[in-house]
Structure 1
Amino acid sequence: MNIKSLDHLVITTHNLEACLHFYVDILGMEMDTGNNRYAVRFGNQKFNIHTKPAEFLPAAAYPTEGSLDLCLVVADDLELVKADVEAAGYPIELGIVN
């Protein structure tokens, strides 16, 4: 499988204020409140910030505070990537999503 880059990651937090303070005020990332959600950016990278499980869909099955999920960009056909992951013994929660 040919992973090209990180598209974005999702952080789930119980304290939005403290989370944004750390990433924006301490690390100097840019806050993005487009699409009625919170995110922080640096360069072409983005961290979406969620405050409760399944706040936006699709979402991980069991997100917990302090967890994150990674969204990757791959160069291969997504059906082949899915088949490789499943063949290695890792279940796919939702299938291929946009």
Structure 2
Amino acid sequence: MTPALASLDHLVLTVADIGATVDFYTRVLGMRAEVFHPADGSERHALVFGRQKINLHPRGGEFDPKAAHPAPGTADLCFLSEVPVADWQAHFAACGVAVEEGPVRRTGATGPILSVYLRDPDGNLIEVSNPL
């Protein structure tokens, strides 16, 4: 029998500016910033939401091991929310963040979703969705 994975613990984004990224994800998406110190003694930054986190690596100072070609702006992330997409749109407008597309119906991991798309400071595509 092939072993099975249960969930995603964290992912890594390589970013041009840690401060700008932390500001965007905390102010615009409601994540919580975290600073942590792994066994190597370095200081690292993460964004926490639900039971997941996004670890941040500064461009040119990525931590090993790392992706084969780490670069800012190469991610496409979809986040689920119980807050209605219309409320998110109003929040994004109040934050001065443009919605690039949506709301549009898409198919998520577990079924239909209603999504809006925007960009983070590095140009990563961010999708905020409601399960339908």
- Asked if 1:56 corresponds to 2:63, the answer is yes
Q: Report what 1:23 is aligned to.
A: 25
User: What percent identity do the matched residue pairs reach?
Assistant: 41
**Matched residue count:** 68
Q: Report what 1:6 is aligned to.
A: 8
Structure 2 gap ranges (5+): 38-42, 76-132
Structure 1 gap ranges (5+): 69-98
Structure holding more strand per residue: 2
Shift of 1:18: 1.7
Offset from partner CA, 1:7-49 (integer Å, 9 cap, x none): 1010111122221111111111111101110101012100001
C-alpha separation in 1, matches of 2:16 and 2:61 = 13
Runs of 4+ in 1 over 2 A off after TM superposition: none
C-alpha separation in 1, matches of 2:18 and 2:5 = 31
C-alpha separation in 1, matches of 2:46 and 2:59 = 14
TM-score, structure 1 as length reference:
0.61
Task: State the one-letter code of the partner of 2:54.
Answer: F
C-alpha separation in 1, matches of 2:47 and 2:31 = 6
Would the aligned equivalents of 1:40 and 1:48 in 2 still touch at CA under 8 Å? yes
Task: State the one-letter code of the partner of 1:37.
Answer: R
Q: Which has the larger radius of gyration?
A: 2
Residue 53 of structure 2: which of 22, 46, 51 is its match?
46
Structure holding more helix per residue: 1
Q: Report what 1:76 is aligned to.
A: none
